[in-house]
Structure 1
Amino acid sequence: MNTKYVLLTVLSITINVIIYYKLCPSVLQLCEVDTCPICFGTDLCNEIGQNKIVLQYNTFSAFMYNIFSVKNVYFARFYNMTVVLKKLAHNNEFQKLKELKRKDFNELINFLVSDSGDKHFVLCDKNTANSFLRIFSYKSSENLETLLHINIEPLLLEIFSSQHGWCVPKLYGYCGRLVVVQNAGQPLSEIESFNWFDRSYVAYQILQSVNNFTKNHDIFRIYLTDISPDNIAVNQDLQITFIDLENAILKKKVAGGEIHYTEHFDEDLYMYSEKQICESSMSDHNIYSTCRLLLSKKAPWPMMKNGLLHNPPDI
């Protein structure tokens, strides 16, 4: 066999292997477990080490996300389930965490209610923060503090668990820097052309769900502050799931007090008051925001044009 041909073949195979491992890392590589204990948890590391979770490339979106690490989100299969792997922090964020001094319980409460100006998630007061933290007393301080600093959403998926009927993705667990959650379907915007009766069924579920977020938890009320078609998924059976809880306000339930009704501004302007929501015993924020941003014919850009309930049939 021609030596030049052999060398070219070997070189080609080597390059392909390098490209594969660079562009198509294993799930275990994505976990970067060497960063532990500065990580989210380890309860899924055995399954990942045994290749029970495998990246999928069977759709265009999965291929693009998995190859180019779009938003640090990856699509995979876990046994017979489709799942989403979320890598919730960048290297520089983890480096900053390593340099932080560990906080005691009271310091964590003060951190959670501090006004840093860039928080996506708000706990209204120390009473709320205290009750929130005590739920996670079983977690290691390293795992808990990392989630509190990087992304609080997985903790909310434990409080508002899908196993208890909440319309949120099922949380399967953690390994290193990965969180594994249910793949709940396509974005709400993808059903824009569905018939009106299917869309009205989806709208009913959304309204019912946000009302439950306001009223049905035993301890808390959660108010979503980034309600948009991109943050709600719809599966093949038209069942909805809220896939972003990171942007929210959490308030502990209190007896009595005033109910807050959102002030309606000009049609092109959507605003809400975090202060008024937190100071009230209950707010209409979830219902108002859903109607204003998703259902209204005058929903502002970049929401769905003419709202989810556009073009109703003549009856």
Structure 2
Amino acid sequence: MKISLGKFIHFKLSCLFIFFLFVLLYISGSLYWIFTENYLGEPALVEINKCPVCYGESLCQTLLRNQIKLSNLAKVRFLDIFGSNSDRMYHATLNSPNRGNTEIVLKKLGKNHDLSDLDALICSKAKMADDCDVSSAISKLSFVKQSGQDAKFAKYLQGSSKMFYCPSTRLVSELFNKYKERSATDEVTLRDRVKIWSTAIINQEPLLLQMFPAADGWPFPEYVGACGRYVAVGNGGKQLSAFYNANWSLRADIAYQLMKIAEMLTNNKADFALYLTDVIDDNFAVDADGNVTVIDLEDVLVVDKLAVKSAKPKGWEDVHESVYAECPGKTFKSCHSFSEVHLCSHVTSDHNYYAICRYILTPHHGSLKKDPAQADGLLHDIPKNIDEDWDLEYLLNECVSPKRQRGRIQVVHKIIEALDHIRKL
């Protein structure tokens, strides 16, 4: 039986097509696996080898067991190259027997050059090569050998971050009690102190989340754990900037919660004042239930009120008042003039109220808002009947730029009362 030349050629072309299709599918599948593999279990990626010059190790077994899965575009490894010089955040799901499926956010806090600078500093202090093994070099540093006492360690920490800018041995002692990254259950070891010191230098957020936990009512995300130079926190929801066009009652509810956050951070049973020194929309989030949290704590200044009362610096009993000034700058820090020294030397300040009123609720932020939709503040377009009943616009203006001494402190509770009523309408 003869096969025509045309049919033979057609048969060969069909075979070649099937072969190339198979190769294409194989390559595509391999590339998909390479780029979307759950690579968090790789010790080198999370830099476990850097510990104890890291944020912690409590989450390492969870990562190595592949109990954390990246979500959506976070799965694509290739996208990492675009975030190599900035803090990286990935949405993920934690699946564990104790918690079930929990939405979390993984953060690599600190820019690559900041981490490299820290490593180089440790190597230099240890008189080793620039690319030395920092996990070994750190033990050669004199402060590690001398930081066994809480008071001495507190002095080493002072100035490392805003959390430790103001002097307080009590802050360090209470942090030790709540520290979740400890190596032993009954004490904070020298290894743990290195982790605390390293974290404070790069980004204080993990320490603040442990010191002031969400479980105790603090308006922050839950601290889940750390592995190497990654931390995991609870998912706070959508950033505040997404709610500027929400209906009035929702915006009033968010504003109420923001003012209550300012109140809690200023006055609380712990006798620590936490001052927000970087107040921008995207440092706050609103979850699916409408709860507001502070999701970026890198620039929170902590003041130990008991330490201030004990030291009694000049004017310590007076309420520190933030002064309104026109804002020509482009960032919160360049616009808002505040003094860490002044905040550290007063038991009470109206700083948090001022910052929330000016930079979130009202249009007095100067040139900070890049989005025109946010230019008039979160509480834009106050309904006429509400303004007439509560004089809300006047109260907000007084919160930003009071016309008399202690005027801001006198109006904030009226604002909270008004917003509490309005949000329930």
Give the superposition deviation at 1:16: 5.5
Q: 1:264, 1:65 → 2: CA distance?
A: 46
Match of 1:112 in 2: 157
SS across alignment from 2:384: coil
- Residues 11-160 of structure 1 correspond to what in structure 2 (within 5 A)? 13=26, 17=30, 20-21=33-34, 26-29=39-42, 30-57=45-72, 62=74, 67-68=79-80, 70=83, 71-79=87-95, 80-89=101-110, 90=112, 92-93=116-117, 95-96=119-120, 97=122, 98=134, 101=141, 103=143, 104-105=146-147, 108-114=153-159, 121-126=162-167, 128=168, 130-137=169-176, 138-139=187-188, 140-160=192-212
C-alpha spacing 1:25/1:146, structure 2 compared with 1 (3 Å): farther
* Alignment partner of 1:263 out of 315, 318, 323: 323
Amino acid at match of 1:241: T
Q: 1:11, 1:267 → 2: CA distance?
A: 58
Match of 1:308 in 2: 378
C-alpha spacing 1:210/1:63, structure 2 compared with 1 (3 Å): farther
- Per-residue CA deviations over 1:89-114 (Å, capped at 9, x if unaligned) read 43514523425525233664334334
C-alpha spacing 1:65/1:236, structure 2 compared with 1 (3 Å): farther
Q: 2:352, 2:153 → 1: CA distance?
A: 28
* Alignment partner of 1:207 out of 245, 251, 259: 259
RMSD across aligned positions (CA): 2.9
Question: Stretches of 4+ moved more than 6 A in 1?
Answer: 63-66
SS across alignment from 1:283: coil
Q: 2:163, 2:58 → 1: CA distance?
A: 28
- List gaps (5 residues or longer) in structure 1: none
- Number of residue-to-residue matches in the alignment: 306
Which protein is richer in helix relative to its size? 2
Match of 1:235 in 2: 287
- Per-residue CA deviations over 1:157-188 (Å, capped at 9, x if unaligned) read 01111001111000111112211101111110
Match of 1:164 in 2: 216
**Residue pair 1:65, 1:74 contacting (<8 A) in 2 also:** no
Amino acid at match of 1:82: E
Stretch moving more, 93-102 or 131-140: 93-102
**Residue pair 1:184, 1:233 contacting (<8 A) in 2 also:** yes
- List gaps (5 residues or longer) in structure 2: 1-11, 96-100, 123-133, 177-186, 310-315, 329-334, 386-425
The structure having more radius of gyration, on CA atoms, is: 2
C-alpha spacing 1:282/1:142, structure 2 compared with 1 (3 Å): same
C-alpha spacing 1:5/1:149, structure 2 compared with 1 (3 Å): farther
Report the TM-score when normalising by structure 1: 0.85
Stretch moving more, 141-150 or 158-167: 141-150
Amino acid at match of 2:235: N
**Residue pair 1:66, 1:73 contacting (<8 A) in 2 also:** no
C-alpha spacing 1:123/1:38, structure 2 compared with 1 (3 Å): closer
Give the superposition deviation at 1:258: 2.0
Q: 2:28, 2:280 → 1: CA distance?
A: 43
Q: 2:16, 2:50 → 1: CA distance?
A: 45
Give the superposition deviation at 1:25: 5.2
**Residue pair 2:221, 2:294 contacting (<8 A) in 1 also:** yes
Amino acid at match of 2:105: V
Match of 1:272 in 2: 338
The percentage of aligned residue pairs carrying the same residue is 28
Q: 2:269, 2:142 → 1: CA distance?
A: 31
C-alpha spacing 1:217/1:123, structure 2 compared with 1 (3 Å): farther
| 1:177 pairs with 2:229 | yes
SS across alignment from 2:257: helix
